[in-house]
């Protein structure tokens, strides 16, 4: 373990150095200590500028949480179908994996063309008036759908990669014992997929939380998620907005790091809990030894 840590140290050190320097610079800029021109002047104004920062954080959390939930549910369904439906399932898995290399920018553009008020679907159904408004709404519908579509493929891939071997065998066994597809999904695949689902969900959450293209292209003009606000302020012609841009970006980093920390803690507790449960189960067995075992033990003793 310590040897592995030592081997990884150079790479980790480099990343920490580069990332740390960037974050420190951002922090100094957000506090007015590294101005683009003029004298440095300490100020926390960029951090306390009304409720705009908190509002943006709320929007970002909403988009990330909803997209993650949808992606995890959809991804699990794809994986479960792929595991239980034979050849058709493999086709679905291959199709969903094929969407992964598409960049989010392209996917967002495509979703935009598909779902706008005068977009492809509205024209296809010939309903320019009655087509639901999905792009640029207060509910961020199109942006969330884009994330859910793209990221569910990622979730499915992680789950399939993590459990396909053990799950396929177990679910076949369950099937020969008469378990229905629903029973196999709920009692065999879901328990096995819990860990890969949690990890993939965490990755999706952090990714969508910081992602820019889809909310920018498919969301309304206001309010803004953190990523969009940070980019807008960074590119603002008002140079006094630079500290606010940095404060926004750092808020985004801070929340993402906090979520990762909490999730790692949660996963560790989950793992310890399941270990303890399994230990307790084996402990119960030793307290109430089966007649077979006790006889063998007594046999060994004699």
Contact 115, 139 (CB under 8 A): no
Residue 176 CA, distance from chain mean position: 35
138 binds other proteins (CB under 8 A): yes
Say how far apart CA 171 and CA 81 lie, in whole Å. 12
Backbone angles phi, psi at 34, to 5 degrees: -130, 65
CB 24 → other proteins: shortest distance, Å? 6
CB 64 → other proteins: shortest distance, Å? 21
Q: Which is nearer to other proteins, 49 or 172 (CB)?
A: 49
292 binds other proteins (CB under 8 A): no
When binding is defined by CB under 8 A, the residue of 13, 16, 19, 25 that contacts other proteins is 25
Contact 218, 136 (CB under 8 A): yes
Contact 35, 229 (CB under 8 A): no
Burial of 28 (0-12, 13-18, 19+ CB in 10 A): middle
Q: Which is nearer to other proteins, 95 or 106 (CB)?
A: 106
When binding is defined by CB under 8 A, the residue of 1, 3, 10, 37 that contacts other proteins is 37
CB 241 → other proteins: shortest distance, Å? 8
45 binds other proteins (CB under 8 A): yes
Structure tokens at 174: 């369950």
1 binds other proteins (CB under 8 A): no
166 binds other proteins (CB under 8 A): no
Structure tokens at 236: 């603002």
Say how far apart CA 175 and CA 281 lie, in whole Å. 26
223 binds other proteins (CB under 8 A): yes
When binding is defined by CB under 8 A, the residue of 166, 236, 274, 278 that contacts other proteins is 236
**Residue window 239-268: x/- pattern of binding to other proteins, with contact defined by CB under 8 A:** xxx---------------------------
Q: Which is nearer to other proteins, 117 or 285 (CB)?
A: 117
Number of residues forming the site for other proteins (CB under 8 A): 37
Q: How far is CA 179 from CA 20, 83, 174, in A?
A: 53, 14, 5
**3-class SS at 285?**
helix
CB 285 → other proteins: shortest distance, Å? 57
Backbone angles phi, psi at 127, to 5 degrees: -130, 65
Please give the residue ranges that form the binding site for other proteins (CB under 8 A): 21, 24-25, 28, 33-34, 36-38, 40-45, 48-49, 117-118, 133, 136-138, 216, 220-223, 232, 234-241
């Amino acid at each position: 373990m310590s040897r592995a840590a030592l081997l990884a140290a150079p790479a980790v050190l480099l990343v920490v150095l580069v990332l740390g320097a960037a974050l420190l610079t951002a922090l100094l800029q957000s506090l007015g200590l590294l101005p683009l021109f003029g004298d440095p002047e300490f100020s926390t104004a960029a951090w306390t500028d009304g409720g705009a920062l908190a509002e943006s954080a709320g929007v970002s959390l909403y988009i990330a949480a909803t997209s993650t939930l949808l992606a995890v549910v959809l991804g699990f369904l794809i994986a479960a179908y792929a595991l239980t439906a034979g050849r058709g399932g493999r086709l679905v898995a291959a199709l969903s994996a094929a969407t992964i290399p598409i960049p989010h920018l392209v996917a967002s553009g495509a979703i935009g063309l598909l779902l706008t008020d005068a977009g492809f679907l509205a024209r296809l159904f010939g309903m320019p008036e009655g087509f639901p408004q999905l792009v640029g709404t207060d509910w961020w519908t199109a942006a969330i759908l884009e994330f859910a579509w793209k990221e569910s493929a990622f979730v499915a891939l992680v789950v399939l990669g993590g459990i396909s071997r053990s799950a396929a065998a177990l679910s076949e066994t369950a099937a020969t014992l008469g378990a229905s597809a629903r029973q196999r999904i709920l009692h065999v695949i879901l328990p096995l997929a819990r860990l890969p689902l949690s990890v993939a969900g965490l990755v999706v959450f952090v990714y969508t939380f910081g992602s820019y293209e889809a909310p920018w292209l498919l969301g309304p003009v206001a309010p803004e998620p953190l990523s969009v606000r940070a980019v807008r302020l960074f590119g603002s012609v008002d140079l006094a907005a630079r500290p606010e841009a940095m404060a926004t970006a750092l808020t985004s980093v801070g929340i993402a790091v906090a979520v990762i920390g909490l999730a790692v803690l949660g996963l560790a507790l989950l793992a310890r809990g399941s270990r303890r449960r399994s230990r307790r189960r084996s402990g119960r067995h030793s307290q109430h030894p089966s007649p077979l075992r006790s006889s063998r033990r007594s046999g060994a003793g004699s």
